[in-house]
Amino acid sequence: KAYLAGISIDPESLAVEEIAAVGPGGTHLGRKYTRRHYRDWLAPALLSQQPYEAWVSTGGSALLERVAARTEELRQAPRLHGLDDSQLAELERLVERARGMRAGT
């Protein structure tokens, strides 16, 4: 339902005063505002958001089954790192150098 409601643009949703109160480098995690609103945007991908009956009718997979399936999906996915071969070689050289330095201590 919340996704269909659209996005509110008002002082409460913009939280300008809250952002200013926390300031640069601060954390919002302990703030009352965050506790009031974090569920507005938090929808963990591995937790079912369906009503119980719908969840059961679609197979009712357990959380551990979904975690295992997602883990395998991530393991099979190509790793996109954006480094070319020369950059990868330089990175490997630096890693080996660091390992050598660590072994010497």
Residue 66 near residue 60 (C-beta atoms within 8 A): no
Q: How many domains does the chain have?
A: 1
What is the domain extent for residue 57?
2-103
pLDDT tens profile 54-94: 888 988 888 888 889 989 998 898 877 778 889 989 999 99
Judge whether residue 41 has pLDDT over 90: no
pLDDT of residue 89: 93
Residue 21 φ/ψ region, left for φ over 0, alpha for ψ in the -120 to 50 degree band, beta for the rest: alpha
CA 99, CA 105: separation in Å to the nearest integer?
10
**pLDDT reported for residue 4:** 62
pLDDT surpassing 90 at residue 45: no
Would you state the torsion angle of the CA atoms of residues 42, 64, 73, 79, taken in this order, to the nearest 10 degrees? Answer: 70
Structure-token pair, residue 38: 């974090």
Q: What is the mean pLDDT of residues 37-53?
A: 77
